[in-house]
Structure 1
Amino acid sequence: MKKYIVVIWLSLVMGLVSCDNYLDVVPKGEAVLNSTDDYLGLIEAANPKFSMTSFWYMANEVTYYKKAELESYLYPMYSIGFFWDESVDRYNYMVDGDIAELYSDCYSRIASYNVVVEHMNDAEGPDTDKKLGIAQAKIMRAYNYFFLVNTFAKPYKKETAATDMGIIIHKKFDLESESKQYTVKEVYEFIEQDIEEALADLPEQALNSYRPTKGFGYALQAKVRLYKGEIDLALESGLNALKSSYHKLWDMNEMYNEALATYPFLPTMPSMWMTAAKLEDSNPEHLLYQFGHTNTDPYPQYARKEMLDLYDKNNDLRYITCWGYYMPPRPTAETGAIMFGSTNVKWNPGGMRLSEVYLMIAECYARKDDKDNAMKYLNDLYRNRVFPGTAELTAADADEAFKLVREERKRELVLTYNGFFDMRRFCTEFNETLTKTYVNEAGETKTYSLRPDSPLLVWPFPQQAMETSNLVQNTK
């Protein structure tokens, strides 16, 4: 077999490419990619970090533990998002921070995946490894582009997607190529092509949860189709994802009983849930595990009371084991705000869990006016999250089923990227204006609104990206 050696800078291998067109790459060393094992390792070496705390403030999921600092804009992006403040140009703050970091991390990973897609067929090793590596690189490239287009461009809208400006796409690893910004429609087409080409060669079970499986591939395809409004196709993909022989829902009752066997005093000492509650990153609930800013995210984030009130606080194990309601309230925070208190629960903020597939299927059925199937899949998930004997969710018609699906998405997918992404797509589709109230330090009750055409629903490109490419800014 022909020996083909690709030499790339170690900074790329370590995921340090700092902007969309691969500039500012510092040659700190060299890494030789020769075997299929080398390329498979490059896929895993891509840093699985999706920094997104600002999403949670925008989606009205969290509050800061010091109201005075939130109101003084000590951390501007958190405050702008929390107060839905359109008066501030966020671009001025897009120098660093979580969303600027998210942008560079996604493009860094894409650069690695491009190397694999382009050159793995020339590596030394079995053809099965080559097919596997290319498929996993393509599906991960699609996922990162999906993340980028749903952060830095308008939500997909069939009527305008062909003219709405999207993001830069790099189809190959080329330091000399000129950056090109594609429309939202073109970005989605590229994502769908990558998914379609990857599906056949994705494994039923990957080496670990940081590498994508066939179940993840179908779940991502369902998600992309759902965001495009292709309900029948999204349902087909979602049902295909459930055919996985490996992935299964996390049974929180099983976790609860195991913890109780180890710590029989838990009912009288609920603070022990900090360590007793566990969801490993290897759990087959994870279709793909990708963490947030750190591997302990979302700890220690404080949820707003209106978010927490969505839970059945007596029976919902997500609330009982994860939210740390037993901890003393912070007098400097909003009344009723409590902290996510489980350091051993790998919440998977940046990846996908099988629970989301059930929610997507339930949503599709509700949209198809099939209330019974919508509630079936919704309750299949719900039963794994509440104590045995808890009353199941019920709906009188498909509209009510759809409402329940949206509420369950908020509970199950809180402190992931889905809260913000859902806000974008539902506001756009249903022309929804959101409102919320906040009691400030002075004791005044303030009301804030978010319009469906608000520029806040699209993040501005970071300053470095604007300075090193020919991007047209999408928002302020």
Structure 2
Amino acid sequence: MKLRTYITLALVTLFTLPACNKYLDIVPKAKTVISSTEDYYKLISLPNRGYYTGNFTYLSDDFWIRESYVIGLPKNMDIINFTFDEQVNRPEYLTSSNYYNQIYTYINRWNMVLSLIDDTNGDASIKTLAKAEAKVLRAFDYFMLINVYSKSYDPATAATDGGVIIMDKYDLEAKKAKSSVEEVYKFIQNDLDEALPYLQEKPLDVYHPSLAFAYALKTKVHLFKREYAQAKAAAQKSLSYNGQIFDLVKYTAQGGPNVLSVPAADNPEVLSYAYVSGVTEMNFAYTNLMSPELRSLFNTTDSRYNLFFTSGPNSNIDAGSGTAYWNVPYTKFFYPTVGMKTTEVYLMLAEIYAREGNYTEAMSIINNLRSKRITNPAQAQLAVPATTKATMDIIIQERRKELMFGVNRFFDLKRFNLEPDYAKTLVHTFPIVNKTVPQVTYTLKPNSRMYIIPFAQDVLKLNPLLTLNTNETVPFR
């Protein structure tokens, strides 16, 4: 007999990995029943997919913190991270993690489609497409998990480095041990490789993954694994489907966001609609400030800064600190920070060319991007360096300016810290403005355990098999 499963849309969005008991077969009143192939396919479209980065925001050289959020206040995760306090046992402060729980909620959603859609009535081709799209989004979510809660991929140690739990089936009661970093990456790559033959160039809507996005994600996975030939092929494939760059120089001439609004659906660069804080995306940037260091990287004619940021004076900022904040409502311009976009693919391809020793091709990509970002043509074009290191330094700097906020800089610091040429010790000298307390210089070394975020207490309590990936201690075990 065909399995008949009833689930409501409202409940689907509330499921978390450790939180549910039994499958539900009672349909609450006034809820939508999920039973047909089309219903399951519609579950792929999730417009408000958010990845809140609060547990690791300040482990970066791109963010800064208001002085009043630190001085005279008891320790919290923001202060611990910003001051690079390695003496603290972080699990004592991490009672829960929105980032972790939300991602496993999404994974459960994709697993539900993968596990149950074959037992529904509907078109077989839609079932195949739905499963392919669910695998792409599941791969994205595992990539987002593994690069926060584990060491960055190191070919020498990935097989033994602690990873995250792989949930590959719709099973709300499962309690599993974590897999290694190597196993999680293999799972991600397998999902992508199985999905790619069945995806569409132009899916049903922007919340369904396209071929351009899937190949972009494949590029990123291979790049993080240092599989440069495979990454290059995937990047070129992604750009063959969508290689558009939104021209900020032209946009500046048109008057910018105060004259011409560019909501998410109108930005052709966007490959994946995912957010830090929901569809109100950049509103979080009113309180999460650009660091003085990042601000110093923008020249005076860079539209990425001039169109969207201000240094005050305003109550959102410490006047005189050299910081800046996003100053454009999300309704006027959508700037992706967590989901992928075409310019990230170009930057990954430039990195691959640089590592191959093809500096001319790498800089051609960089200068083409800069020509659409910097209004002064003379400042937009950079000379071709003579070494891999010099070319990579330019690319890394462009990544910081183009891929601001979100997760990218944190992920980049972790992966580049494994390479002596690009490893960086972070420095926060704080406070800058307040003169009533001593100024202190805080440093974070490339090999710090702080780059691996501990699992929070709520999931550790629910699953005794889950262990930390650092040498910190669980408060209740």
| Residue 52 of structure 1, CA deviation | 1.0
Paired residue secondary structure (1:401): helix
The 10-residue stretch of structure 1 (198-207 or 382-391) with the greater mean CA deviation from structure 2: 382-391
| 1:94-150 superposed Cα distances (whole Å, 9 cap, x missing partner) | 124xxx001000000101101111222333232332222111100000000110111
CA pair 73-234 structure 1, distance change in 2 beyond 3 A: farther
Paired residue secondary structure (2:255): helix
CA pair 172-22 structure 1, distance change in 2 beyond 3 A: farther
Equivalent runs, 1:92-241 vs 2, <5 Å:
92-96=92-96, 100-241=97-238
Match of 1:269 in 2: none
Distance (Å, rounded) in 1 between the aligned partners of 2:176 and 2:48:
23
Does the 8 Å CA contact 2:47/2:273 hold for their aligned counterparts? no
Does the 8 Å CA contact 1:62/1:304 hold for their aligned counterparts? yes
Match of 1:471 in 2: 466
Which of these residues, 291, 294, 310, is aligned with residue 307 of structure 1? 294
Distance (Å, rounded) in 1 between the aligned partners of 2:282 and 2:64:
13
CA pair 247-127 structure 1, distance change in 2 beyond 3 A: farther
Does the 8 Å CA contact 2:9/2:33 hold for their aligned counterparts? no
Paired residue secondary structure (2:33): strand
Does the 8 Å CA contact 1:256/1:277 hold for their aligned counterparts? no
| Residue 229 of structure 1, CA deviation | 0.9
Which of these residues, 260, 268, 281, is aligned with residue 284 of structure 1? 268
Letter in 1 for 2:263: E
Letter in 1 for 2:385: A
Task: Check if 1:455 corresponds to 2:442.
Answer: no
Which of these residues, 395, 420, 434, is aligned with residue 405 of structure 1? 395
TM-score by length of 1: 0.89
Q: Specify which structure has the higher proportion of strand.
A: 1
Distance (Å, rounded) in 1 between the aligned partners of 2:323 and 2:52:
22
Task: Check if 1:383 corresponds to 2:371.
Answer: yes
Does the 8 Å CA contact 1:249/1:285 hold for their aligned counterparts? yes
Letter in 2 for 1:92: E
Match of 2:408 in 1: 418
Paired residue secondary structure (1:56): coil
Match of 2:385 in 1: 396
The 10-residue stretch of structure 1 (118-127 or 163-172) with the greater mean CA deviation from structure 2: 118-127
Match of 1:248 in 2: 244
| 1:203-262 superposed Cα distances (whole Å, 9 cap, x missing partner) | 112233222110111110110011111111111111111110x552111123223336xx
Distance (Å, rounded) in 2 between the aligned partners of 1:24 and 1:424:
37
Match of 1:16 in 2: 14
Match of 1:266 in 2: none
| Residue 386 of structure 1, CA deviation | 1.6
Does the 8 Å CA contact 2:452/2:469 hold for their aligned counterparts? yes
Distance (Å, rounded) in 1 between the aligned partners of 2:86 and 2:73:
14
Match of 2:427 in 1: 436
Does the 8 Å CA contact 2:425/2:443 hold for their aligned counterparts? yes
CA pair 374-354 structure 1, distance change in 2 beyond 3 A: same
Match of 1:362 in 2: 350
Letter in 1 for 2:429: Y
| Residue 5 of structure 1, CA deviation | 3.1
| Residue 4 of structure 1, CA deviation | 5.3
| Residue 296 of structure 1, CA deviation | 2.6
| Residue 11 of structure 1, CA deviation | 5.0
CA pair 294-390 structure 1, distance change in 2 beyond 3 A: farther
Letter in 1 for 2:384: A
How much is the aligned-residue C-alpha RMSD, in angstroms? 2.4
Does the 8 Å CA contact 1:36/1:125 hold for their aligned counterparts? yes
The 10-residue stretch of structure 1 (283-292 or 331-340) with the greater mean CA deviation from structure 2: 331-340
Distance (Å, rounded) in 2 between the aligned partners of 1:31 and 1:45:
16
Match of 2:70 in 1: 70
The 10-residue stretch of structure 1 (114-123 or 45-54) with the greater mean CA deviation from structure 2: 45-54
Paired residue secondary structure (1:58): coil
Distance (Å, rounded) in 2 between the aligned partners of 1:251 and 1:128:
38
Distance (Å, rounded) in 1 between the aligned partners of 2:212 and 2:75:
38
| 1:293-322 superposed Cα distances (whole Å, 9 cap, x missing partner) | 232333313212111010112x11111101
Does the 8 Å CA contact 1:17/1:24 hold for their aligned counterparts? no
Distance (Å, rounded) in 1 between the aligned partners of 2:22 and 2:77:
27
Match of 1:294 in 2: 278
Percent identity for Structure 1 against Structure 2: 30
Distance (Å, rounded) in 1 between the aligned partners of 2:252 and 2:440:
40
Does the 8 Å CA contact 1:154/1:457 hold for their aligned counterparts? yes
Match of 2:45 in 1: 44
| Residue 381 of structure 1, CA deviation | 1.7
Which residues of structure 2 form unaligned runs of 5+? 473-477
Paired residue secondary structure (1:447): strand
| Residue 42 of structure 1, CA deviation | 1.2
CA pair 61-163 structure 1, distance change in 2 beyond 3 A: same
| Residue 158 of structure 1, CA deviation | 0.8
| Residue 374 of structure 1, CA deviation | 0.7
Does the 8 Å CA contact 2:303/2:373 hold for their aligned counterparts? yes
Letter in 2 for 1:366: A
Distance (Å, rounded) in 1 between the aligned partners of 2:99 and 2:428:
29
Match of 1:270 in 2: none
Letter in 2 for 1:447: T
Which residues of structure 1 form unaligned runs of 5+? 261-272
| Residue 54 of structure 1, CA deviation | 4.3
User: Aligned residue pairs: how many?
Assistant: 454
Does the 8 Å CA contact 2:9/2:34 hold for their aligned counterparts? no
The 10-residue stretch of structure 1 (452-461 or 393-402) with the greater mean CA deviation from structure 2: 393-402
| Residue 455 of structure 1, CA deviation | 1.2
Distance (Å, rounded) in 1 between the aligned partners of 2:338 and 2:75:
22
